Amino acid sequence: MDFDVSDELQTMLEMITSFINDEVIPLEGEFLHGTPEELDEQVRALQGKVRQMGLWAPNHPVEFGGLGLSMLEHGLVSEALGRSPLGHIVFGVQAPDAGNVEILHAHATPDQRERFLRPLVAGEIRSCFSMTEPETAGSNPTLLETTATKDGDDYVINGQKWFTSSADGAAFAIVMAVTDPDAPPHRRASMIIVPTDTPGFNLVRNVSVMGHAGAGHASHGEVSYQSCRVPQTNLLGDEGEGFAIAQERLGPGRIHHCMRWLGIADRALELLCDRANRRVITADGETLADRQVIQHWVAELDADIRSARLLTLHAAWMIDTVGAKAARNEISAIKFSVADTMLRSVDRAIQVHGALGVTDDTVLAYWYRHERAARIYDGADEVHKTSLGRRLLRAAAT
């Protein structure tokens, strides 16, 4: 294993870290308290600076305008960007677009790449990924009920989706729908590109998450497909490959998420330490940092974050060297372990901030609300633990 980075990447990471600290983090007040319109304008200004620095879309394909970083390299970049909720969108590598770029690059036709992939990488449009349904188990995509029925040269899509993240303002969705209900379970569904201005694509609402519905990129849409008709040429990959493409998308996606979570964990620990050192709690000037329990929390979180970082970098290295399929144990392990580390870091930081921690005067409460789902999306922690445990036990029995 070699996690050394090139001088070029090290310089890039230093530039990104400085930009996040100096330009992006100061915008968090607008993010938490301003209007979406004002925030979008300021984000676009920062995106322009990122382009001028030559750092736009670091993990996206070079031939479409990105920097083409490896999985390990992008993991390190994602960690640096994760220090702010705005980091990834300012650099053009936000979810769900990042995952959509990967599967479009791998499976789209030349025409689909020009129509959808190129402007997506350029940041001219946004996209969404429409798989989860309110009435079926998200951890088992073989149970999907949304259908895409052939009619002449078209697919006619009917069904209900939710947590179609960033559907608000997206130009197109990649929809997973059943195209052959009689096929084996893992061959029933396909992925189809649906422009959001297609009649029958209905954004019902932005789902309220712990009291906040969000807007634009920072939202989770409920979408109703009502006789939504698109040409069969919008099929992504081959018919029946929906499940396989979804699995292909999720492996690298977990590296993106986990390294972003580590950026959150590291920033939360930084905020915790700053608060503990500054918060005077006695008349003779003692601070929270003088309390042993705080010292223990800091030591434990530091060890946990460093351990989770190495575990994630190892998984990224495995994907780069042997592929996502061979790295499935490592990918499963980081999903639940890193999410737990991140959430514990945010929780401890809130506790040390006291009443301030549960307000929106810091970014901590935002992370507490929106990152709790880390233990649910892309497969609930319990599913990953079960799958990993089962594979390890079978391997031990042979």
CATH number, residue 44: 1.10.540.10
Please report the pLDDT score of residue 1 as a whole number.
Answer: 67
Residue 249: band (very low, low, confident or very high) from pLDDT cuts 50, 70, 90:
confident
Q: Which of 121, 145, 163 is the last residue of a domain?
A: 121
Q: Using alpha carbons only, what angle is made at residue 260 by residues 256 and 265, rounded to the nearest 5 degrees?
A: 150
How many other β-carbons are positioned within 10 Å of the β-carbon of residue 224? 16
Q: Specify whether 250 is located in the same domain as 225.
A: no
DSSP codes joined into one string, 197-211: TSTTEEEEEEPPBTT
Q: Specify whether 306 is located in the same domain as 167.
A: no
Report the Cα–Cα distance between both ends of the chain, in Å, rounded. Answer: 27
- β-bridge mates for residue 175, sequence order: 130, 192
Q: What torsion, rounded to 10 degrees, do the Cα atoms 319, 320, 322, 324 define?
A: 30
Q: How far is CA 359 from CA 207, 342, 353, in A?
A: 22, 19, 10
Give the list of residues 6+ apart from residue 214 with CB closer than 8 angstroms, or none.
168, 206, 220
Instruction: Give the CATH number of the domain where residue 303 resides.
Output: 1.20.140.10
Please report the pLDDT score of residue 256 as a whole number.
Answer: 86
Q: Specify whether 201 is located in the same domain as 253.
A: no
Whole-number CA gyration radius for the chain: 22
Residue 253 included in any domain: yes
Cα separation of 99 and 253, whole Å? 6
Q: Specify whether 165 is located in the same domain as 282.
A: no
- List pLDDT tens digits, range 74-112: 889 999 999 999 999 999 999 999 999 999 999 999 999
Residue 1 included in any domain: no
Number of domains in the chain: 3
Q: Which of 96, 121, 146 is the last residue of a domain?
A: 121
Is the pLDDT at 226 greater than 90? The verdict is: yes
Instruction: Give the CATH number of the domain where residue 195 resides.
Output: 2.40.110.10
Residue 2 included in any domain: no
Give percent of the chain above pLDDT 90: 86
Domain that holds residue 250: 244-397
Q: Specify whether 163 is located in the same domain as 306.
A: no
Q: Specify whether 296 is located in the same domain as 362.
A: yes
Please report the pLDDT score of residue 254 as a whole number.
Answer: 84
Q: How far is CA 101 from CA 120, 212, 314, in A?
A: 7, 28, 23
- The arithmetic mean of pLDDT across residues 236-245, rounded, is 95
Q: Which of 236, 254, 282 is the last residue of a domain?
A: 236
Q: Specify whether 259 is located in the same domain as 364.
A: yes
What's the mean per-residue pLDDT of the chain?
A: 94
Please report the pLDDT score of residue 247 as a whole number.
Answer: 84
Q: Specify whether 208 is located in the same domain as 269.
A: no
Q: Specify whether 353 is located in the same domain as 373.
A: yes
Residue 398: band (very low, low, confident or very high) from pLDDT cuts 50, 70, 90:
confident
Q: Specify whether 331 is located in the same domain as 267.
A: yes
- List pLDDT tens digits, range 324-358: 889 999 999 999 999 999 999 999 999 999 999 99
* Range 66-72, long-range pairs (CB < 8 A, 24+ positions): 66/101, 66/121, 69/9, 70/316, 70/320, 71/252, 71/255, 71/316, 71/317, 71/319, 71/320, 72/3, 72/313, 72/316, 72/317, 72/320
Q: Specify whether 251 is located in the same domain as 287.
A: yes
